Amino acid sequence: MQLLCGLATIFVLLAVLREQQVQAACGYANCPAGKANMINVHLVPHSHDDVGWLKTVDQYYYGARNDIQHAGVQYILDNVIRELLRDAKRRFIFVESAFFFKWYNEQTAEVKSQVKTLVKGGRLEFAGGAWSMNDEAAVHYQSVIDQFTIGLKALQQTFGACGRPHVGWQIDPFGHSREMASLFAQMGFDGQFFARMDWIEKTERLKNLTAEVIWKASEVLGQSAELFTGLLYRHYSAPPGFCFDALCSDAPIIDGVSYDNNVKERVDTFIKYIQEVTTHYRSTHVLIPMGDDFNYQIAAMNFKNMDKLIKYVNERQSLGSKVNLFYSTPACYLKAIHQAPLTWPSKAQDFFPYSTDWHTYWTGYYSSRPTQKRFERDGNHFLQVTKQLTTFANLTGNDVNSNLDALRHAMGVMQHHDAITGTEKQHVAADYDRLLAAAIESAQANARAALQKLTNLTNGEFVSCLQLNISVCEFTKNGADQLVVTLFNPLGRPSYEYVRVPVNNEAYIVTDETGRLLPSDLLPVPAEVQRLSFRPKIASHELVFLAYVEKLRSYYIKKSANPRSVEELKVETQMRSMNSIPKRFSEMHKKSAEENELKSIAIDSESRGEIIVKNSHVKLTLDSSGHLTKVEMNGVSENIRQEFYYYNAAAGNNAEFKNRSSGAYIFRPNGTELLIGRQVTFSIYEGTQVKEVHQRFSDWVSQVIRIYEGVNRVEFEWLVGPIPINDNIGKEVITRFTSNIKSAGVFYTDSNGREMLKRKRNQREYFKPNMTEAVSGNYYPITARIAIEGESNRIALLNDRAQGGSSLKDGALELMLHRRLLRDDAFGVGEALNETAYGEGVVARGKVYLILSNAEGTPSRYERLEQLQIHLPFWKFFSNATKATNKKVRQISSFNLPQTVHLLTLEPFNANERLVRLENFMDKYDANPVTFNLRPLFDQLSGEEIRETTLDGNLNLSEMIRFKFQPESSNVTKPEYYKTLHSPLLAKKKDSVSKFSIVLHQMQIRTFVIKWR
């Protein structure tokens, strides 16, 4: 009896466990069962709906401008839902939450309830589920995580666990990043599918049955970043001849009494195709996508014909056919192959660059539309700032949420693979700009409300200036007298940063909140910037001062009547302020100064006409032609020459591969690169804080090289454009740094701003590439950093937006800054990438940072910290000083996270909840795991409870169960699952402090939801 009781308990427990698993695996329970000893064909009805491309987001949604492309997403959803309700066997997947929720929110209660039934039954399933199907080359991981967070949250709130996607469906992006696979795994996804791969690699993989792999998507995170990844056989379209869509002209299934009855031929052809596909995959299950761009606008046509196809193909089974056809989803296909005792090859690198023929490398879009790529980064920067400010100020309410959502949604749209990529039509690009600008304006309302609460400027304006990159701010146009600059630091630790404010050519004094005077420099805005035809004639100068901000701090600027006394003041206060610099900074300062001391003996003589510009950390040498030729810093010295070049763009008719044009997608230079500016005219400005070399290379290329006192990097602020096209030749402009470093063909590039990948010139991980395009075939996406190293020295370049880059020769690094093209490359956009503004070619301005260091030790540790500061510097808000009151201000703290821990996210989440992500930003080569206590952060955020979730914030980490796929060496025959490797944090306010202690391994991100109040 005792024993029986015990057994009963075990059964109950097992039943509970199974129930939990079913819930966690919602959707899988409803998968169609295949038949044993048959080829089970998973027909996957889908529609690929770009969130803007040839038409704007709204034109696509409403079906406007069908003269450009016949596409209306609202009709797709209307008609698909109606067709799904007609037959329980039918399935459909939907990907883009931006479109889905726009439609869903317009539906009646009855339709909403029907949709919920479809989702619950697995008949409508979400794949991907982010706001858009993001690009993978030019996106930054922070923005990818954000857009999954909002998409999956909306699905969770609307449909509960059944709305949660299990697979990624990245069918259209032009190449695939390793970090994306890693993020999918960290969000608890079971796998992903895509359609585009280098044509040689694709051929090889299909031949070798390696089109489906276990992607080991992190060098550090192990199984937490492993993801099953499958390549679709024939792009993402239906099999040739079987597109039943209104946009296609393939034959329908004609099964009545008719001379035209084609059932036998259609079934024969389909079965033959399936047999061919099967020979390229390991499993007896095959996935056949049934859809294409904006398909299913008249969904009855698609489903009626697929119903017939299924019926007649399966009828053949009675004659001995082994093909079994049914409606399915990618998740159900994945479940089927997970259950089979199969093993899979592994993959370690990424799928860049993507090439589709001998002359076609999709490496142009890495750099296309440089100003849009930068504006998107501004959008992310401001989104992080306003999310944090809204949280710190405890702002709540519908307006507050919708202001933030506006920016979250706009940023979700910007991640789309025709937005951040720059591969959309010009009018669509303009619409993206409009959308993002309006969303920033909405979020600005939150920022202002928060700052009025958090500072003593209870009526402060807190204006954001979005044109500071050309030293324009309406708020300072009258000369910045009685101005307050309120700085917000989005990082999780205090930082130093030099702040630049556009001013007139007058004397100013800068004070901090305590009235203490700060040293400052006044530098002219470069003549080339001042001459920009569209720039208002204000602010000829910039005021520069060093700010120290824990989280939030204001600095006061006012005009000074007597410039000379300001100069004296500078000298007098400088010593004082240096003494008050906190320890970490002053140590860094001191150490490097000593190192430089040693090296200064080896300085080349100035007698050869060389020019030296130096501070206590960095020494630059320019030759008599005005080019940078040598850099000394971090105790090492290297001959580094920096130059600008342009490639002439290939301009063919695209009729044959060899006639391919360079275009929005494709980079194809025509011949070798041409130097811009053999002789550079330049001037040098030496302040006490910053030294600047203003260089002019040509009428349309100029630059400022800057070194700041106490900062271990060299800044290159480039200005390129309008790119001349009066010779009728498109041009692609690069900056190149050459050195004597023997890099042996190896260089390192980041993956979406996180881990680094090792590249070898003219080589790939899996196959031998044809290098008929030696330049563009060696280009890789650079989202944050590219580096080379030799035996002693290492050079890293950090950038401020996504760009293409490479190391085409040992010791050299290049980044593509701007492109202006006169031909379309024939991949659908139908326009040349010839951006104009204000009646001329677009002018772009941006920054590249150089760090030279000793290759030994852990130089990349410093680069990583700099990378964070470049990505999320202080945000500047401007107000009139007259608005200051005597209000006592509550100090908000930076949480004082360990130096290597990045506050990746802090934002309002569900009602009474806050979302926090902490990331150890160090690589395994750079540092050790960090242990620290979350209690101070928890208390500061008025926490009541804390729970840990998957990366997207929507699934409790304890409930995450992922498919484990077996590697080729395995002989496991039963399906296995991954769970979290660490025990998830779950604690309440009353719990002891020790319960809040956490460990962050290198590159690990942990996500927490804090219930407050």
Active site residues: 172
Which CB, 644 or 665, lies closer to Zn ion? 665
Q: Which one of 45-53, 473-481, 762-770, 874-882 is the stretch in contact with Zn ion (CB under 5 A)?
A: 45-53
Partners of residue 738 on adjacent β-strands: 641, 812
Q: What is the per-residue DSSP string for 716-749?
A: EEEEE-PPP-TTS--EEEEEEEE-S---TTEEEE
Least CB distance to Zn ion at residue 516 (A): 55
Least CB distance to Zn ion at residue 175 (A): 13
Binding mask 154-193 for Zn ion (x = CB under 5 A): ------------------x---------------------
Which CB, 172 or 692, lies closer to Zn ion? 172
Tokens of 130: 């982010």
Least CB distance to Zn ion at residue 273 (A): 24
Q: Which one of 42-50, 459-467, 597-605, 962-970 is the stretch in contact with Zn ion (CB under 5 A)?
A: 42-50
Q: Please give the Cα distance from 20 to 339 (Å, whole number).
A: 19
Least CB distance to Zn ion at residue 150 (A): 20
Least CB distance to Zn ion at residue 690 (A): 44
Which CB, 27 or 52, lies closer to Zn ion? 52
Which CB, 172 or 825, lies closer to Zn ion? 172
- Dihedral over Cα of 41, 44, 45, 48: its sign: negative
Least CB distance to Zn ion at residue 421 (A): 10
Burial track 114-128 (b if 16+ CB lie within 10 A, e otherwise): bbbebbbbbbbbbbb
Distance of CA 776 to the CA centre of its chain: 22
Least CB distance to Zn ion at residue 177 (A): 16
Q: 3-state class of 85 per DSSP?
A: helix
Which CB, 294 or 780, lies closer to Zn ion? 294
Partners of residue 781 on adjacent β-strands: 804
Tokens of 100: 């889905």
Written as one letter, the residue type at 5 is C
Q: Does 50 bind Zn ion (CB under 5 A)?
A: yes
Which CB, 171 or 450, lies closer to Zn ion? 171
Residue keyed to tokens 């040098």: 684
Burial track 687-704 (b if 16+ CB lie within 10 A, e otherwise): bebbbbbbbbbeebbbbb
Query: Residue 754, CB half-sphere, CA atoms under 13 Å: how many?
Result: 30
Cβ-proximal residues to 466 (8 Å cutoff; 6+ apart), any chain: 378, 437, 440
Q: Please give the Cα distance from 625 to 610 (Å, whole number).
A: 9
Query: Residue 360, CB half-sphere, CA atoms under 13 Å: how many?
Result: 25
Compute how many residues bind Zn ion; rule: CB under 5 A. Answer: 2
Residue keyed to tokens 């920033």: 440
Least CB distance to Zn ion at residue 71 (A): 11
Least CB distance to Zn ion at residue 655 (A): 24
* CA-closest candidate to residue 865, choices 853, 856, 877, 875: 853
Q: What is the per-residue DSSP string for 375-434?
A: HHHHHHHHHHHHHHHHHHTT--SHHHHHHHHHHHHHHHHHTBTTTTT--S-HHHHHHHHH
Q: Give strand ranges (E) for 780-863.
A: 780-782, 785-789, 793-799, 803-806, 812-820, 836-837, 840-841, 844-854
Which CB, 432 or 488, lies closer to Zn ion? 432
Residue number of the CB closest to Zn ion reads 172
Radius of gyration of the chain (CA): 30
Partners of residue 875 on adjacent β-strands: 488
Q: Which one of 47-55, 206-214, 670-678, 990-998 is the stretch in contact with Zn ion (CB under 5 A)?
A: 47-55
Q: Please give the Cα distance from 935 to 941 (Å, whole number).
A: 10
Q: Does 292 bind Zn ion (CB under 5 A)?
A: no
**Strand pairing report for 39-45 and 285-290:** parallel
Least CB distance to Zn ion at residue 173 (A): 8
Q: Please give the Cα distance from 1003 to 901 (Å, whole number).
A: 10
Least CB distance to Zn ion at residue 785 (A): 28
Least CB distance to Zn ion at residue 362 (A): 13
Are 824 and 830 within 8 A, CB to CB?
A: yes
Q: Please give the Cα distance from 331 to 953 (Å, whole number).
A: 21
Which CB, 66 or 763, lies closer to Zn ion? 66
Which CB, 50 or 835, lies closer to Zn ion? 50
Which CB, 417 or 691, lies closer to Zn ion? 417
Q: Please give the Cα distance from 329 to 28 (Å, whole number).
A: 10
Which CB, 171 or 906, lies closer to Zn ion? 171
Largest CA distance in the chain: 101
Tokens of 218: 């992190």
Which CB, 192 or 495, lies closer to Zn ion? 192
- C-alpha distances out from residue 434 to 131, 135, 431, 663, 839, Å: 18, 20, 5, 24, 19
Give a three-class secondary structure readout of 427-441.
HHHHHHHHHHHHHHH
* Angle at CA of residue 57, ends 56 and 62, nearest 5°: 100
Written as one letter, the residue type at 883 is K
Which CB, 172 or 376, lies closer to Zn ion? 172
Which secondary structure element, helix H or strand E, spans residue 19, and what is its range? helix 2-24
Least CB distance to Zn ion at residue 172 (A): 4
Partners of residue 719 on adjacent β-strands: 702, 845
Distance of CA 491 to the CA centre of its chain: 18
Q: Does 907 bind Zn ion (CB under 5 A)?
A: no
Distance of CA 758 to the CA centre of its chain: 19
Residues that bind Zn ion (CB under 5 A): 50, 172
